[in-house]
Chain A
Amino acid sequence: MADPNFLKFDTLSLHAGQEVDPITGARAVPIYQTTSYVFKDADHAASLFNLETTGHIYSRLSNPTTAVLEERLASLEGGVGAICTASGHAAMHLAIVTLMSAGSHIVCSQSVYGGTYNFLKHTMPRFGIETTFVNPRDLDAFKDAIQDNTRLVISETLGNPGLEVTNIPALADIAHAADIPLLIDNTFATPYLCRPLDLGADLVMHSATKFLGGHGIAMGGALIDGGRFDWEKSGKFPTLTEPYEGYHGIRYEEEFGPLAFLMRARTEGIRDFGACISPTNSFQILQGVETLSVRMEKHVANARKVIEFLNTHDAVETVSYPELPTHPDHELAKELLPKGCVHFQFHCQRWPRSWQGVYRTVADFLSSGECGRCQKPRHSPCLDNTSANGCASPQECGHFRRNDPPVSGY
């Protein structure tokens, strides 16, 4: 008997989720630009609405083109399934509203995308969900911040803007010791460079707008469940273990096992909050996912060249890049991100002239730009200390918060 013969990353990135149309033989994934679907009869409709049968009802809930993207991303991340959303923000929101209600609490890395920070710091408290932010390198701080009502731990594979490497296995252990799941935003690494679910994370989210798309033409997000978290044993997630009157008392964990979280998220969170992705956006992001591995390899190679340049430039004072031995998480990066990293930071001594010179030079040859878009560099000039982040811009990526010292007065 042969060894297991699962399809590999490149094959999955090209084919997963797609069944070639048996009528037309269309090679590409068709764009099903439709809002709704025809029922065979009243019983078919009733059974679909009651989760007795499978299929599409309305494109707010699911769509055939989007389903291909969902399966493809789930396969690449090693999950049990996925839900694609209107944006990465929508994916984050969907995870939170599926898991908890007012009165709950989140522990989050303080080094996260500025939009995530704003959302958790300023918006969610209005809905009764508070967040404690901690230094992502301080595992004890995560542990200490967990309260009785904490329902989720959040971090990013690579911190933003600090490029801290999250110790996913250790953080997962901390979360699991408190019977709560770990959600990792894997936007910066993509499943090509890191698979958080294999490292112990329970949920993964993406801004698919970035590297997964790679072209900068389509907004989208994704939420992927690893299917390992035991909701029943935890006892802290009544949305998944207790009867839900929205579907006549269904208990998701009992009914669907590893798929419980995604089924609740789709049949409640997407249904009621409505942050669905457009089928055309799903198609456009699929075009990017097909080339994910080759693009990420190129991004890493390019980043390394830029680092070489920055290391030799006399105006550059410091360079932060997880592959450099001087990076505080260098050893961890070797373990968790063995294929490399795309993002870097550098800091210039003299401002503004020399900084601008360095930036112009970097911009000339940097092709790893705009958080995954191929054509343009991303930049986060912080004008009071003239540091720059190799893959960020405050306008689009919001790496800096309005109250951050580096950008005050920006």
Chain B
Amino acid sequence: MYVTVNNTKIFAATGGREFDPSQPTILFLHGAAMDHTAWALQSRYMAHHGFNVFALDLVGHGKSGGEIPASIDELADSVIAFMDAMELKEAALVGHSMGALTALSAAGRYQDRVSAVVMIGIAYPMMVGEAFLQKARENDPAAYQMMIDWSHARPSHRGAAEVPGLWMIGNALRVVEKSGKDTLYKGLSICAGYDGGFEAAQNLKAPALFILGDKDMMTMPRAAQKLIAAIDGQKTVMLKDCGHMQMIEKAADVRSALIEFL
């Protein structure tokens, strides 16, 4: 479905269900150069298990219009603006990578709007290697390849996807390849530039869940520990033999973690 937010057309996948005001709502927020299809193996399931689902194409991504904002905080503002447009008083935010920082920012600054926050594949601060950033700045396809290489744990490079017949490496490459000029660079840049993480963590009122991959090379679990330590009462699920594409590599485990937490 499309919603106009601040004069910009925003797309959200609803998991095949109509909105039901009596149900709690989940917003899924994808990572840099990705789109709502990153959540295909969770969004439809959650939509059929008691939740309203909006898997967004964040502004400037996928089917949505607009430009990618200059900061994670502004990206978070755009998510809250989507909630305003949909007249959602509150929602659980489930974010991956850039989307996880966005969820954190929103949860810290709009405490009464965020009922729960799930951060998948997050590190804080989210460092981005200079060589990678440079290739992304040049819109060099090598940047996409680097990203997809490092985003999959070595076992996932051999495949054995949970979806019969899916070749995970190829599918992920296609998603980022079609993200468009400068999309990856802008996404990586605002991740690397985000400095409000600890402040958001201190202000957090919503329950928080971390879902991390033990073999994640993009956002290594150890790079999330300071953030985790800054949040009281958080929960962490560590996925075994999993890289940075947690929602695809370990789709069932992520579904289970979400159902249990939300």
Residues B220-236 near A (CB distance < 8 A) = none
Cα–Cα, bound, A80→B41 (Å)? 16
The answer to the question of A220 belonging to the interface, with a C-beta cut-off of 8 Å to chain B, is no
Are B175 and A258 in touch, CB under 8 angstroms? yes
Contact of A1 among B129, B166, B171 (CB under 8 A): B129
Measured CB to CB, the nearest residue on chain B to A263 is B163
When distances are taken between beta carbons in the complex, the residues of chain B under 8 Å from A6 are: 145, 149, 157, 169
Measured CB to CB, the nearest residue on chain A to B17 is A248
The answer to the question of B35 belonging to the interface, with a C-beta cut-off of 8 Å to chain A, is yes
Residues B2-57 near A (CB distance < 8 A) = 13, 16, 35, 37, 40-41, 44-45, 47-49
Cα–Cα, bound, A15→B163 (Å)? 17
Measured CB to CB, the nearest residue on chain B to A259 is B171
Question: In the complex, which range does the number of interface residues on chain B fall in?
Answer: 35 or more
The answer to the question of B181 belonging to the interface, with a C-beta cut-off of 8 Å to chain A, is no
With A50-B48, A250-B16, A258-B174 in contact, is A17–B162 under 8 Å at CB? no
Are A51 and B164 in touch, CB under 8 angstroms? no
Interface residues on chain A, number (Cβ under 8 Å) = 55
Are B167 and A79 in touch, CB under 8 angstroms? yes
The answer to the question of A5 belonging to the interface, with a C-beta cut-off of 8 Å to chain B, is yes
When distances are taken between beta carbons in the complex, the residues of chain B under 8 Å from A67 are: 161, 164-165
Residues A58-102 near B (CB distance < 8 A) = 61-64, 66-68, 70-72, 74-75, 78-84
Interface string of B144-160 (1 = CB under 8 A from A): 01101100000101111
Cα–Cα, bound, A257→B62 (Å)? 10
Least distance between B50 CB and chain A CB atoms (Å):
11
Least distance between B16 CB and chain A CB atoms (Å):
6
Cα–Cα, bound, A78→B173 (Å)? 10
Are B165 and A71 in touch, CB under 8 angstroms? yes
When distances are taken between beta carbons in the complex, the residues of chain B under 8 Å from A1 are: 129, 131-132, 146
The answer to the question of B85 belonging to the interface, with a C-beta cut-off of 8 Å to chain A, is no
Cα–Cα, bound, A370→B216 (Å)? 47
Are A71 and B166 in touch, CB under 8 angstroms? yes
Cα–Cα, bound, A72→B161 (Å)? 11
When distances are taken between beta carbons in the complex, the residues of chain B under 8 Å from A256 are: 37, 40
Contact of A227 among B16, B155, B174 (CB under 8 A): B174
Measured CB to CB, the nearest residue on chain B to A11 is B158
Measured CB to CB, the nearest residue on chain B to A227 is B174
Cα–Cα, bound, A80→B166 (Å)? 6
Are B165 and A262 in touch, CB under 8 angstroms? yes
Are A4 and B166 in touch, CB under 8 angstroms? no
When distances are taken between beta carbons in the complex, the residues of chain A under 8 Å from B142 are: 3-4
With A258-B175, A266-B165 in contact, is A53–B170 under 8 Å at CB? no
When distances are taken between beta carbons in the complex, the residues of chain B under 8 Å from A15 are: 158
Are B158 and A62 in touch, CB under 8 angstroms? no
The answer to the question of A254 belonging to the interface, with a C-beta cut-off of 8 Å to chain B, is yes
When distances are taken between beta carbons in the complex, the residues of chain A under 8 Å from B163 are: 54, 81, 259
The answer to the question of A366 belonging to the interface, with a C-beta cut-off of 8 Å to chain B, is no
Contact of B44 among A7, A81, A255 (CB under 8 A): A255
Are B16 and A248 in touch, CB under 8 angstroms? yes
Are A17 and B131 in touch, CB under 8 angstroms? no
- Interface set of B (CB-CB < 8 Å, partner A): 13, 16, 35, 37, 40-41, 44-45, 47-49, 63, 129, 131-132, 142, 145-146, 148-149, 155, 157-167, 169-171, 174-175, 177-178, 251-252, 255
Supply 30 A–B pairs (Cβ within 8 Å), ascending by A: A6-B149, A7-B158, A15-B158, A17-B167, A47-B49, A52-B48, A53-B41, A54-B163, A56-B164, A63-B164, A67-B165, A70-B164, A70-B165, A72-B159, A74-B165, A74-B167, A75-B169, A78-B170, A227-B170, A228-B174, A228-B178, A232-B63, A255-B40, A256-B40, A257-B37, A258-B178, A262-B165, A262-B166, A266-B164, A266-B165
Given contacts A78-B170, A81-B163, 11 further A-B contacts (CB under 8 A): A1-B132, A3-B142, A18-B158, A53-B41, A55-B164, A62-B164, A80-B166, A254-B13, A257-B35, A258-B175, A259-B166
